[in-house]
Amino acid sequence: GQSIFSSLDSFVLLAVPLFVLMSQVLLDGRVGDDLFDVMNAWVRHFPGGLAIATILSCAFFAAITGSSATTAATIGMVAFPALTERGYERRFVLGLLAAGGTLGILIPPSIPMILYGAVTEESVGKLFMAGIIPGLVLTAIFVIYAIIRSRGGGYRAYEPASWEERFRVTRKNLWGIALPIIIMGGIYTGVFTPTEAAAVGLIYSLFITLVVYRTLSLKDLPGVCLRSVGTSCMIAMIIAGALLFGRVMTLLEIPQQLTQMVIDAGLSPLGFVIAMNILMLG
């Protein structure tokens, strides 16, 4: 038990509850609504423009919160009614939100990457850097699919927004747009660590929701904190269970036995990869 608590006593893991709380602040502060308006103003003239705006909003919000559930919930609250009211098929909309939500664990900052880095003692900053290109590629694939699916489904394009409207909406929401730039820019330039970035992001998100947009009030904060505590405790229990399981595996020398089993089987490199995938799926 003592080893579990000592393992959880990590400066890196402190980023997890901070990012969770920041995500909850942005969710309750309805920052996703404004973000969707910005994306919609720029891409609605394309076939399936609203679907594209949904994916891009998910990608951008993922770069703020690092949480798939928060990304899907925040963007879904505004995107789902907007798309269904304009005739988009319900299952297509839900598929967009489910797929877009997965970007939350891939595009940095990512809470699962922080957990992986803490458990394996890998550099969280390097893990974040490794997630950028795959995240952008997956976003592009989702956008391409949305365009193709929208053309086939007969979802029409809308009148393009004027440049004046685009700049007006973007300028109005610059505070929210700046958040991922501050977080990731600070990490990549070495100004602060991922944990410090989470703290800065939390303070900034509180500032824009309480002072700038005024979508939250001080009386809302206890509820926001309570909801984030539940999520943070769940994550902490998962980490504790994983660490306990790993310690038991080590004491029973199961990794050594598995290694010897693979050696005795004489598997090829491809066979080893297939075997590991089957083992993980099991």
Q: Are 200 and 186 spatial neighbours (Cβ–Cβ below 8 Å)?
A: yes
Owner of token pair 């409207």: 165
* pLDDT above 60: residue 282: no
Quick one: average pLDDT of 197-214?
A: 93
Range with top average pLDDT, 32-36, 40-44, 134-138, 256-260: 134-138
Maximum CA extent, the chain: 69
Per-residue pLDDT band at 2 (split at 50, 70, 90):
low
Whole-number Å distance between alpha carbons of 83 and 92: 10
Kindly list the distances between the CA atom of residue 156 and the CA atoms of 38, 39, 48, 93, 147, in Å, as whole numbers in the listed order. Answer: 19, 17, 7, 15, 11
Quick one: average pLDDT of 257-276?
A: 80
Token pair of 256, please?
């050594």
Quick one: average pLDDT of 275-279?
A: 77
What ranges in the chain are assigned the alpha helix state H? 2-8, 15-28, 31-43, 49-65, 68-85, 90-101, 111-120, 124-153, 163-172, 174-188, 194-207, 221-251, 254-265, 269-281
For 82-131, the pLDDT digits (tens) are: 889 888 889 999 999 999 999 988 898 888 888 888 777 788 888 888 89
| Three-class DSSP labels, 240-271 | HHHHHHHHHHHHCCHHHHHHHHHHHHCCCHHH
Residue 216: what pLDDT? 92
Per-residue pLDDT band at 59 (split at 50, 70, 90):
very high
Quick one: average pLDDT of 11-35?
A: 87
